[in-house]
Amino acid sequence: MSSYAEFLEEKKKIDELYEKGYTITAVREDLSGAYLTFERSKLDLNDIEEKIELHILTADTRKYFSNLIIAQQKELI
């Protein structure tokens, strides 16, 4: 799979989680990629699962979720 195709697949997973009401609450990076922890608001629980961890491999997706985190923090200010 090409790097761009991997990016699109990872971006799609992140966007789907945002659409379901999840937000990024933690990022852990190591040599094998980044691990994002998503959580839903306690007030907005329609599912049983509250936390989801997603493994990110591509640099483009890392840039993408970094921008999402910055936008998320601007909304809180």
pLDDT tens by residue, the chain, 77 residues: 789 999 999 999 999 999 988 999 999 999 999 999 999 876 655 655 689 999 999 999 999 999 999 998 888 75
Sign of the CA dihedral 60, 15, 49, 76?
positive
Q: How far apart are the first and last CA of the chain?
A: 40
Q: Are 3 and 58 in contact (CB under 8 A)?
A: yes
pLDDT in the model for residue 11: 98
| Domain locations along the chain | 3-76
pTM of the model: 0.85
